[in-house]
């Protein structure tokens, strides 16, 4: 059994992440037609654009997490 990485309720693995139906359905996924339009517009470069956005998102996530972990570590000196 897997649990939603957002709320902790029972979830399913989708794209490598555990997520429940409620949160999965809140995501505004592109339709197949929308993806086709993007490919028509940008060609094969569209996949590179998506990969680049994923890399940037992961880097921002890591930087934000490090900042919060640092704050948390400093908080222990006062609390």
- Asked if 5 touches Zn ion (CB under 5 A), the answer is no
- Candidates 16-24, 31-39, 43-51, 56-64 — which segment interacts with Zn ion by CB under 5 A? 16-24
Distances (CA, A) of 55 to 4, 11, 25, 52: 23, 25, 24, 5
Number of H-type helices and E-type strands within the chain: 3, 3
23 part of the interface to Zn ion, by CB under 5 A: yes
Q: Which of 2, 7, 37, 61 binds Zn ion (CB under 5 A)?
A: 7
Closest approach, Cβ 13 to Zn ion, in A, equals 13
24 touching Zn ion, by CB under 5 A: no
Please, are residues 1 and 10 in contact by the beta-carbon 8 Å criterion? Answer: yes
Helix (H, G, I), strand (E, B) or coil at 48: helix
Q: Which residue is nearest to Zn ion (CB)?
A: 4
**Interface positions with Zn ion (CB under 5 A):** 4, 6-7, 20, 23
């Amino acid at each position: 059994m897997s649990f939603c990485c957002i709320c902790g309720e029972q979830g399913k693995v989708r794209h490598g992440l555990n997520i429940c139906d409620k949160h999965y359905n809140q995501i505004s996924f592109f339709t197949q037609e929308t993806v086709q339009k993007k490919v028509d517009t940008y060609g094969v470069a569209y996949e590179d654009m998506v990969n680049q956005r994923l890399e940037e998102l992961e880097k921002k996530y890591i930087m934000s997490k490090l900042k919060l972990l640092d704050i948390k570590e400093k908080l222990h000196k006062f609390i």
